[in-house]
Structure 1
């Protein structure tokens, strides 16, 4: 016991010095943790004001928190005398080794960052991406979750999404429906055109501006093809599409206008027996 007391008395200055350093390091650590949380909340609020998707805002805020907290740890270690330069070098070498082993994951992470920065879509948009179609549900660090029309969940790697064309059907408020309707060559084209227009005029979902277009498109082998191109709100696209197909068929039938279909004539030749 006397030996310990003597050692403490002899090294009291050193103990006080390192004690103060450790206390300051703990203060830096605790204060830095709060600052990291504050920066993360501030980032999320800034994204909310810009009406950025919540999934994206959460993703960015988590990255901000990780960076600030990592800087806090380095400052705390530096305060107690640990050489952070060599520590950072070790972390860098370890990061390089891990990065080479996880190239695919890092590519997905980088693509996730690009999705956030470029914002080709947001949660709730209907998209074609990476060869798949569906509603965007979540944008995560390494992948994006899509929900198909028949309620299947597709987990799509972010790198696959960013390496291909992205078609966003929900970005614009309106969409154009493109239909090709064929009538027989014996039909009165003016009457057929009037029937098609009457179907469009009766549907309240068809927008007046931009105006729809009904015109002869092709004089095909067995039919005269009309293009029918009405504009609707994006949310009404598929219900209107299906209803128009049904109503056009009914209206043409009521007007005795035929819609040609593929036919094959078979001819039998009788050979004389010799």
Structure 2
């Protein structure tokens, strides 16, 4: 074989390989664009039909992963690689990775169960995995929440699903728990009427559930009054602090004495 034949063979082979590489790059770019458009159209259709945003994001992520795997297999098939053997190898690698990343697969399974049970949705104020905040996103492997101090926090779905979930947004109103310690000389019944009227005037207190004001306990200092207004969870802390201020204001206006413990000293006769 002379040099010209070798050069012709090399140039032909390299040219064919270069064309395939360029075609593969083009397929990848165009395929990724089509996948993005398809997932976007799917999510837009679900949004138009008022599908839950959590479900929309979750299904969009699953569809994007499946389509990207299909695109990679198609490009490999274009290069003449047997995709059946590659799929078998991918399955074997998946088993090995699954054994090593069992926690990640557990998070994925827990996310699927949460998607079916739907204990909360995006925008709900919840307590999950020992953390309290607003649900920002429900992902394949973790749930993202924004805590009240504005910290973006990711909680693994396994921890979310395996722990107690408290959804404060599931009900229309939420009860605020406060107490007022009174001195023993204060008329408890009069105090209840004054506090009930003051709390009812607080902005954003629910009218569908009247404030609960009653005697909670008695101790050596005097009666303890439970002050429990209801409000939407979005106004919880505003009503919480305003209730404290209302208790202080009512006590000052009524001239109630400060609650101080009373001690009785007994001396034994000599």
Q: Alignment RMSD, CA only?
A: 3.9
Give the drift of 1:98. 0.8
Evaluate the alpha carbon distance shift between residue 239 and residue 30 of structure 1 in structure 2; reply closer, same or farther with a 3 A threshold: closer
Give the drift of 1:251. 0.7
Secondary structure of the corresponding residue to residue 90 of structure 1: helix
Secondary structure of the corresponding residue to residue 205 of structure 1: coil
Counterpart for residue 16 of structure 2: none
Give the drift of 1:125. 2.8
Q: Judge conservation of contact 1:107–1:159 (CA < 8 Å) in 2.
A: yes
Q: Distance in 1 between matches of 2:188 and 2:28?
A: 81
Give the drift of 1:72. 5.4
Q: Aligned pair 1:193/2:192, yes or no? A: yes
Counterpart for residue 15 of structure 1: none
Counterpart for residue 173 of structure 1: 172
Superimposed CA distance per residue, residues 186-218 of structure 1 (whole angstroms, 9 cap, x where no aligned partner): 222221112112212322422221222222233
Q: Aligned pair 1:202/2:201, yes or no? A: yes
Counterpart for residue 104 of structure 2: 105
Give the drift of 1:29. 8.8
Counterpart for residue 152 of structure 1: 151
Q: Distance in 1 between matches of 2:30 and 2:253?
A: 78
Counterpart for residue 13 of structure 1: none
Q: Distance in 2 between matches of 1:75 and 1:92?
A: 17
Count of residue pairs brought into register by the alignment:
258
Q: Judge conservation of contact 1:182–1:259 (CA < 8 Å) in 2.
A: no
Q: Judge conservation of contact 2:204–2:231 (CA < 8 Å) in 1.
A: yes
Counterpart for residue 52 of structure 1: 52
Q: Judge conservation of contact 1:192–1:257 (CA < 8 Å) in 2.
A: no
Q: Judge conservation of contact 1:123–1:138 (CA < 8 Å) in 2.
A: yes
Secondary structure of the corresponding residue to residue 210 of structure 1: coil
Counterpart for residue 12 of structure 2: none
Length-normalised TM-score, structure 2:
0.74
Give the drift of 1:237. 1.4
Give the drift of 1:175. 1.6
Superimposed CA distance per residue, residues 220-261 of structure 1 (whole angstroms, 9 cap, x where no aligned partner): 343222222222222221111111111212212321334535
Q: Distance in 1 between matches of 2:135 and 2:59?
A: 18
Q: Distance in 1 between matches of 2:223 and 2:130?
A: 34
Q: Aligned pair 1:237/2:236, yes or no? A: yes
Give the drift of 1:84. 4.5
Counterpart for residue 66 of structure 1: 65
Counterpart for residue 211 of structure 1: 210
Q: Judge conservation of contact 2:195–2:247 (CA < 8 Å) in 1.
A: yes
